[in-house]
C-alpha cells in the first residue's frame, strides 16, 4: 500500500508548511536539501560498480538505457540527452525511455506507468541485447513500468541496475545492482520531484560522467570529446585546445578547423605533428584515449616551446575584477603593448579561469605588439588571492608549463604599488577603490598591512562605504528622521527610479550590487564639494578613518613618520582631488608627514619595474 512507502511518509518538519512565509519555506527546503549529498555518498560503492559495468558494456558496443515514469523518466531522458553535446557520444549510445513516450516528457500520460508489459515492449522496440545496461529509475521502487522493463532486460542477459529512494523495494529483487539513496520524507508529502529527484539526478550524473571518463571521453578534467554545437561549446573547444597546447585564440581556431572541430584530434595533431587523419587513426587505435595515443600526462602536454625574447619583460596586475599585462623592453622599461582579460584571483574565479585570464592577457599583449608570443627575459605577477604557498605553487607551475620566462616573481598589491609609486620601493601604499587597504614596506623589506577586511567587516574610506553611508543618510532624510540633504534627489536621479521607496527593490532585487553602489561615490563627493553638510561629513569621516588605518599600518611596523614615501591607488584617489587632499590632511593630523606622494594609475608598471630589477 502507498501509505507504507518511505517516499509517501509525512515530514514532521513541514507539518505547518502552509502557514510559513516564503522566506521560511525556502529555509526549510534548503535544510532538507542539505542532507542529500551525504545520503548519496552512502551509495558510493554501488555507484562505482554501476560505472564499471556501464563503461565495460559501452566499450564493447553496448548501450545504457534508462527506463522510468514521471519525474524519474524525465531525469533519465535528460541525462541521456546531455551526453552527446558534452561527450560527443552517439545519440543511440545512451537512451532514455519514459512511460507514455515523448509526450509524457511535457504532460502526464495517465496510466502509462502502471503497465509492466509496456516497459518490456519499449525495450523490445529498440532491440535490446545482452550487451546493454538497463537502469530502471523509480523513487518508490515499485513502478510497474520499470519493474517490467528490468525484468525483461535481465531475462535476455542485459546488466540491470535500479536507482530507487527506498529500501527493500519490489524492483530491487529484479536487478543485479541496487543504488538506493534513501532521502526520507519530502517537504511536500509524496512529491518525489524534490529530494528524491535531486538525489536521483546526482546518481545519474555520476554514472554517465564516470563511464565517459573511463572510456576516454576526458583528458584530465577537460571535456576533450565535446561536440561544439553552439557558441558556448565552440568557445569551450577553443579554450581547451589553448589550455593543452599554449596556442593563442586564432591559432587554436585554425587548428580546430583543420581537424574538423575535433578537440581530441587537434590536441594529438599539435603535439605529435601528425596530420589530422593520422591523429584520428592514433586515437582510434588507443580507444579514443589521448593519454594512450600520445603517452603523456596533462603536465607534459601543457609544457611547450616558445621563441626567446630576452630583451622583453612582462608586468601583470591581476585581481578580482580584471587582469592587465604590460609588455615592455628590458633595457628601458618602455611599454610597447598592453593586454587585458578577465579576473585572475584564484580564490574568487577558480584556478582554471584565473590561469586562463593570465594567458589571455599575455596573448593579447603580444598580438597588440604584432609579435608572436615568446619566452621573455623576466615576468612579475602582482596577483590578488596568492597569499599562501599553495597559490604560489599554482602560479609557478603555470609559468613553467607555459614557458613564459625563467625569471618569475610573484608579488602582492603592496609591492606593485610601492615599486610604481615610490622612489625605492618602500613606504606606505593605500588603496581606496571599491574596497580599501593600507600596506607598508620598510627599507629592509619587512611588510605589514591594516584594513582590507572586506565590505562587511571594514573597507573604511572606500567608495562602497561612502556611498552606502550616503544612501542610509538619504533614507533617514526622506523619513524626516535625519538632516535634509540633496543626496535624496540625486540618488533618485542616479538610480533611475521614481522616488526613494523605489530604492528598496532596486537594492535588494535589482542590479545595484556592491560594485554598482560603490560607483555612486562620485555623487557624494560632488555634493560635498557643493557644501551639502551630510555629504561633507561622510567624506570627512571616511577620509579620517582611512588615514587612521594608514597610520596604524605605519606605527605597527615602526616606519619613520616624517618624509614618508606614499603611493595612492584606487578610483577615489585617482578621480577625486578633494578626497585625496582630505586624506593627506587627515594623515598629517595623525602625525604622518608624507614626502614623495604618487597617485598610481597603472599598478602593472610596478610589476615591470620588479621584472627588470630581477634581471640586474
Full DSSP string of 261-317: T-HHHHHHHHHH---HHHHHHHHHHTTT-HHHHHT--HHHHH-----EEEEEEEEEE
Is residue 170 part of the annotated active site? The answer reads: no
β-bridge mates for residue 325, sequence order: 316, 339
Catalytic residue among 8, 46, 82, 258: 82
Give dist(CA 298, CA 224) in Å, integer: 12
Full DSSP string of 121-178: HHHHHTT--TT-EEEEE-TTS--HHHHHHHHHHHHTT-EEEEE-SSSS-TGGGG-SEE
First to last CA, the chain: 83
DSSP E strands: which ranges in 323-423?
323-329, 335-341, 375-383, 408-411
Cα 410 to Cα 64, 407, 539: the distances in Å are 49, 10, 35
Of 193, 197, 223, give the one whose Cα is nearest residue 208. Answer: 223
Contacts 24+ apart (CB under 8 A), 525-534: 525/466, 525/576, 525/578, 525/579, 527/470, 527/485, 527/486, 527/487, 527/490, 528/578, 529/578, 530/486, 532/485, 532/486, 532/487, 533/483, 533/485, 534/470, 534/473, 534/477, 534/482, 534/483, 534/485, 534/487
Task: Write down how long the chain is.
Answer: 616
Report how far Cα 543 is from the mean position of its chain's Cα atoms. Answer: 35
> Which residue in this structure is represented by grid cell 593605500?
430
Cα 385 to Cα 68, 318, 353, 382, 411: the distances in Å are 47, 9, 13, 10, 11
Local structure of 101: helix, strand or coil = coil
Q: In sequence order, what are the residues at sequence separation of 6 or more whose Cβ sits closer than 8 angstroms to the Cβ of residue 374? A: 306, 307, 308, 309, 312, 366
CB 192 within 8 A of CB 167: no
Catalytic residue among 19, 32, 46, 113: 113
Is residue 113 part of the annotated active site? The answer reads: yes
Of 210, 279, 214, 207, give the one whose Cα is nearest residue 241. Answer: 279
Catalytic residue ranges: 82, 113
Amino acid at each position: 500500500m502507498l501509505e507504507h512507502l518511505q517516499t509517501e511518509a509525512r515530514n514532521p518538519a513541514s507539518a505547518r508548511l502552509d502557514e510559513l512565509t516564503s522566506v521560511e519555506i525556502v529555509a526549510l527546503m534548503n535544510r532538507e536539501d542539505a542532507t542529500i549529498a551525504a545520503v548519496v555518498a552512502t551509495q558510493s560503492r554501488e555507484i562505482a560498480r554501476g560505472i564499471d559495468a556501464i563503461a565495460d558494456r559501452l566499450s564493447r558496443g553496448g548501450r545504457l538505457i534508462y527506463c522510468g515514469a514521471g519525474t524519474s523518466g524525465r531525469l533519465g531522458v535528460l541525462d541521456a540527452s546531455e551526453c552527446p553535446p558534452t561527450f560527443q557520444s552517439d545519440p543511440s549510445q545512451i537512451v532514455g525511455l519514459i512511460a507514455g513516450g515523448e509526450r509524457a516528457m511535457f504532460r502526464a500520460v495517465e496510466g502509462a506507468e502502471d503497465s509492466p508489459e509496456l516497459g518490456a515492449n519499449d525495450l523490445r522496440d529498440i532491440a535490446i541485447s545482452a550487451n546493454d545496461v538497463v537502469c530502471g529509475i523509480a523513487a518508490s521502487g515499485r513502478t510497474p513500468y520499470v519493474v517490467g522493463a528490468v525484468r525483461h532486460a535481465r531475462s535476455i542477459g542485459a546488466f540491470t541496475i535500479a536507482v530507487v529512494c527506498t529500501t527493500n523495494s519490489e524492483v530491487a529483487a529484479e536487478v543485479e545492482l541496487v543504488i538506493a539513496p534513501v532521502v526520507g520524507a519530502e517537504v511536500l508529502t509524496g512529491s518525489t520531484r524534490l529530494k528524491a529527484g535531486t538525489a536521483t539526478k546526482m546518481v545519474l550524473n555520476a554514472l554517465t560522467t564516470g563511464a565517459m571518463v573511463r572510456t576516454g571521453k576526458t583528458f584530465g578534467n577537460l571535456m576533450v570529446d565535446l561536440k561544439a554545437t553552439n557558441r558556448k561549446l565552440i568557445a569551450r573547444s577553443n579554450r581547451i585546445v589553448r589550455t593543452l597546447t599554449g596556442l593563442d585564440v586564432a591559432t587554436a581556431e585554425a587548428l580546430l578547423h583543420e581537424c574538423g572541430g575535433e578537440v581530441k584530434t587537434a590536441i594529438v595533431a599539435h603535439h605529435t605533428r601528425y596530420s589530422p587523419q593520422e591523429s584520428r587513426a592514433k586515437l582510434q587505435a588507443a580507444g579514443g584515449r589521448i593519454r594512450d595515443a600520445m603517452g603523456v600526462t596533462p603536465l607534459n602536454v601543457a609544457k611547450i616551446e616558445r621563441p626567446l625574447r630576452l630583451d622583453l619583460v612582462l608586468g601583470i596586475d591581476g585581481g578580482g575584477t580584471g587582469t592587465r599585462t604590460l609588455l615592455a623592453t628590458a633595457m628601458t622599461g618602455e611599454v610597447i603593448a598592453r593586454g587585458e582579460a578577465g579576473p585572475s584571483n584564484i580564490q574568487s574565479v577558480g584556478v582554471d579561469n584565473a590561469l586562463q585570464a593570465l594567458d589571455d592577457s599575455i596573448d593579447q599583449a603580444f598580438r597588440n605588439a604584432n609579435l608572436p608570443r615568446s619566452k621573455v627575459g623576466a615576468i612579475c605577477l602582482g596577483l590578488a588571492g596568492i597569499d599562501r604557498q599553495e597559490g604560489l605553487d599554482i602560479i609557478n607551475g603555470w609559468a613553467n608549463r607555459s614557458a613564459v620566462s625563467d625569471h618569475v616573481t610573484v608579488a602582492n598589491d603592496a609591492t606593485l604599488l610601492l615599486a610604481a609609486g615610490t622612489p625605492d620601493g618602500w613606504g606606505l601604499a593605500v588603496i581606496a577603490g571599491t574596497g580599501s587597504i593600507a600596506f607598508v614596506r620598510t627599507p629592509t623589506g619587512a611588510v605589514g598591512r591594516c584594513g582590507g577586511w572586506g565590505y562587511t567587516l571594514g573597507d573604511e574610506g572606500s567608495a562602497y562605504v561612502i556611498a552606502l553611508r550616503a544612501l542610509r543618510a538619504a533614507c533617514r532624510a526622506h523619513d524626516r528622521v535625519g538632516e535634509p540633504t540633496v543626496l535624496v534627489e540625486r540618488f533618485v536621479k542616479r538610480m533611475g527610479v521614481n522616488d526613494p521607496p523605489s530604492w528598496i527593490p532596486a537594492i535588494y532585487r535589482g542590479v545595484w550590487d556592491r560594485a554598482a553602489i560603490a560607483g555612486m561615490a562620485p555623487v557624494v563627493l560632488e555634493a560635498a564639494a557643493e557644501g551639502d553638510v551630510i555629504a561633507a561629513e561622510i567624506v570627512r569621516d571616511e577620509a579620517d578613518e582611512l588615514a587612521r588605518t594608514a597610520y596604524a599600518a605605519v606605527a605597527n611596523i615602526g616606519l619613520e613618520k616624517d618624509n614618508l614615501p606614499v603611493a595612492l591607488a584606487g578610483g577615489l584617489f585617482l578621480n577625486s582631488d578633494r578626497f585625496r587632499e582630505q586624506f593627506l590632511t587627515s594623515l598629517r593630523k595623525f602625525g604622518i608627514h608624507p614626502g614623495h606622494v604618487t597617485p598610481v594609475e597603472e599598478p602593472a608598471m610596478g610589476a615591470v619595474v620588479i621584472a627588470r630589477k630581477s634581471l640586474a
